Chains A and B, each alone.
Chain A
Amino acid sequence: MVDLSVDIAGMRLKNPVMPASGTFSEDLAELFDIECLGAHVTKTITRGRRDGNPTPRVCEVDGSMLNSIGIPSKGVADFLKKTVPFYRAYDTPLVASISGNTTEEFATLCREVTVEGVDAIEVNVSCPNIEEDGKAFAIRPSSTYAVMRELRKATHLPLWAKLTPNTGETSEVARAAEEGGADALVVANTLLAMAIDVRTRRPKLGNLMGGLSGPSLKPIALRMAYQCAKATRIPVIGCGGIATSDDVLEFLIAGATAVQVGTATFINPTAMVTIIADLERRLEVERIASVRDLIGTVADGEQKAAVVFMEAAP
């Protein structure tokens, strides 16, 4: 019997595999018993209703995809009335993903989703901060710290900060989130990207640019998960291109405590079920008693100090 359970800031997950926000909903329960997952992470909501971006909202690139959905949301009232009650039928912890364009709006929403049935809040600080220059909160350490501090005051629930790869200051932003009160880091969101139809010369996404996800994002997300685990003392949840149990092992070894599976579910809706089963088998074969024994075991030897310089000049 291997032990797949992990601990994220005092919350026990039966296994380290959970969905990435935006790639999971009640609809998936039509395919398999979603009770098998480590946690349920809902699609990011905003306080008010939002329509989202113009179409096309998705296109594929070599072995990966771009999306610009634009956080369509039915608002917080619908979330509390319909989404939270649906998941109360499950014992699996519920993680509410939220976003806001101003610190005040963000903190108010954080307070509003602090309800019975929600076990943790994932704060999508990768969204634009319209009070400054529209750049995502988590692009800079200062705006990350400022927003996290207000979110921290708004809830007693564990706060997971979802970071963006669109920054040149990964370690600094991670530390700023920790200092601002984050209990865990989700590393990371999609990477800003673009694709153009050479025949029509039009961008393939209605919003011109969008987020890259899928296998080609994995090495970048892995590098960031490694950096964040080194830079902070809070748990890191790896996210980016994870599609197999080997990918999970790679993130755990790099220092992540758990992982989120996103785009892989679009290709194989039962991907997470397969990954969990494979992970268990893999640990049995390798005679590893607990998945926790793998966390941060990367054999990086004497090169640890090079992490900072590598970001400047690979």
Chain B
Amino acid sequence: MMGTLTSLSTVRAKARPPSVFERDLSVVFNEPVNGEYVRLALAAPSHLLERCRAGQFFHLLCPASGEDKPYLRRPMSIYGFFPKQGELHFLYKVTGAGTRALSKLCTGDSLNVLGPLGVGFRIEDDWRNLVLVARGVGLATLAPLALEARNRGRHLTAICSARSHDVLMSLDYFAEMGAEIITVTDADGTSEMGNVEKIIKRLVAGRGVDAFYTCGSNRMLTLLQALGQRYHIPGETALEQQMACGLGMCHCCVRPFRKAGALVQLRVCREGPVFDLQEAMPW
């Protein structure tokens, strides 16, 4: 009897190898990108990096630092994953106790991460021309999409929006990935929605657009929803919400979505953080 039970357990454990990892990773660097954002690189094993997809996130156990004693983990989208170099990158803005504590990490320090978690961006086989529209920290979430687009031979246009040119980020990264870059800023008045709409309409009329991607801006989401409906272009958006477990157990991180004419509550950590563009609700 015992023998039978043991073998059953063994079969089950083998059938389900861990797909999510909880690991202490070592900091390679943690450096400011500009006055507001910090880039964190962690040394990570390739089996973990190979599971990562653009749009997914890690749940970070930010260490206590001085006055800051963050208790819950902090979800953070993957900015870059590089199996060859063995590095996992994050891009964050210091806004509270968690990110402040994170910003104090030095090379060689250890950080406990849980992930990769959630559902990443989808690129359908017939989506040849991709357009991403990013603003602020939304850029961190969308950047690895450029990597996936390049790996899969898709054309990507990145419309990057910011307050001014000196806080525009990741332009080199997008260029390196072969993306076409269009920058708009508040400073020169090009970031207003009317102008962004004109730019996108030109792209639609030109080489055509098969899918939209966005994150981080309510106005961008609303604009892309309208254009998506008008031109029948599908799309996806990554969303945020306060989380506790990050795994789907606690149901803290729900948001409302439009599905088949009804409002449904979905978990950002589990059914997301990437959702269908038209089902997402502006906040």
Which A positions have Cβ atoms within 8 angstroms of B?
Answer: 22-25, 27-33, 35, 43, 51-52, 55-65, 67, 69, 72, 89-91, 214, 265-270
A95 to chain B, nearest CB (A): 15
Interface residue? B114 (CB, 8 A): yes
A195 CB, min distance to chain B CBs, angstroms? 12
B193 CB–A CB distance under 8 Å: no
Are A57's CB and B72's CB within 8 A?
no
B252 cross-chain contacts in A, Cβ below 8 A: 55-58, 67, 69
Tell whether, in the assembled complex, residue B12 and residue A67 are in contact, meaning their CB atoms are under 8 Å apart: no
Q: Report Cα–Cα, A24/B250, bound state, in Å.
A: 8
Q: Which residues of A contact B16 (CB under 8 A)?
A: 29-30, 33
- Contact status A63-B71, CB under 8 Å: yes
Which positions 228-247 of chain B face chain A at CB distance < 8 Å?
241-247
- Assess the B248–A27 pair: CB atoms within 8 A: yes
Q: Are A60 and B71 in contact (CB under 8 A)?
A: yes
Residues of B within 8 A of A24 (CB): 249
Q: Is the CB of B242 within 8 A of A91?
A: no
Interface flag for B35 (CB, 8 Å): no
Q: Which residues of A contact B73 (CB under 8 A)?
A: 266-267
**Given A23-B245, A91-B5, A91-B9: A266 in contact with B72 (beta carbons within 8 A):** yes
The answer to whether A67 and B247 have CB atoms under 8 Å apart is: no
Stretch at the interface among B17-25, B119-127, B194-202: B17-25
Report B262 CB to chain A, min CB distance, Å.
Answer: 11
A25/B249 in contact, CB under 8 A: yes
A62 and B69 in contact, given A31-B18, A32-B18 (Cβ under 8 angstroms):
yes
B112, B241, B245, B253 — most chain A CB neighbours (10 Å): B245
Chain B: which residue is nearest A33 at the CB level? B13
Q: Mark B1-31, 1 if CB is under 8 A from A, else 0.
A: 0000100110011001011111000000000
Q: What is the bound-complex CA distance between A33 and B69, given in angstroms?
A: 31
- Range class of the B interface residue count: 35 or more
Return chain B residues, CB-CB under 8 Å to A35: 9, 12-13
- The CA of A91 and the CA of B69, in the complex, are separated in Å by 40
Residue contact A55 to B254, C-beta cutoff 8 Å: yes
Docked complex Cα distance between A59 and B242 (Å): 8
In the assembled complex, which residues on chain B have CB atoms less than 8 Å from the CB atom of A67?
244, 250, 252
Q: Are B265 and A72 in contact (CB under 8 A)?
A: yes
Considering only residues 97-124 of chain B, those with a C-beta below 8 Å from chain A are: 112, 114
Confirm or deny: B154 has a beta carbon within 8 angstroms of a beta carbon on chain A: no
Contact between chains at A30 and B71 (CB < 8 Å)? no
B70 and A60 contacting across the interface, CB-CB below 8 Å: yes
Q: Cβ of A30 and Cβ of B22 under 8 Å apart?
A: no
Q: B34-74 interface mask toward A, CB cutoff 8 Å, 1 = contact, 0 = none? A: 00000000000000000000000000010000000111110
Q: In the complex the two chains form, is B13's CB within 8 Å of A214's CB?
A: no
CB-CB under 8 A from B21, the residues of chain A are: 31
Q: From known contacts A33-B13, A63-B71, infer whether A27 and B61 are also in contact, taking CB-CB under 8 Å.
A: no
A22-B71 contact given A58-B243, A58-B244, A89-B12, CB 8 Å threshold = no
A33-B15 Cα distance, complex, nearest whole Å: 11
- The answer to whether B150 has its CB under 8 Å from any CB of chain A is no
Minimum CB–CB distance from B70 to chain A (whole Å) comes to: 7
CA distance A65 to B70 in the complex (A): 11
Partner of A55, one of B8, B18, B255: B255
Name the contact of B254 in the complex, choosing from A57, A61, A63, A89 (C-beta under 8 A).
Answer: A57
What residues on B are CB-neighbors of A266 within 8 Å? 72-73, 244-246, 249-250
Residues on the B chain within 8 Å of A29, using CB: 16
Give min CB distance, B243 to chain A, whole Å: 7
Could you write out 5 A-B pairs with CB less than 8 Å apart?
A25-B249, A30-B20, A60-B71, A65-B71, A69-B251
Kindly identify which residue among B8, B242, B247, B254 contacts A269, using a CB–CB cutoff of 8 Å: B247
Beyond A30-B20, A33-B13, A35-B12, is A23–B250 a contact (Cβ under 8 Å)?
A: yes
In the bound complex, what is the Cα–Cα distance between A91 and B1 (angstroms)? Answer: 12
B250 touches A60 (CB 8 A): no
B249-A60 in contact (CB<8A): no
Question: Which 8 A-B pairs have CB atoms at the shortest separation, nearest pair first?
Answer: A58-B252, A27-B248, A57-B252, A25-B249, A60-B71, A266-B245, A27-B247, A33-B13
Chain A residues, CB < 8 A from B8:
91
Determine the distance from Cα of A61 to Cα of B8 in the docked complex, in whole angstroms.
43
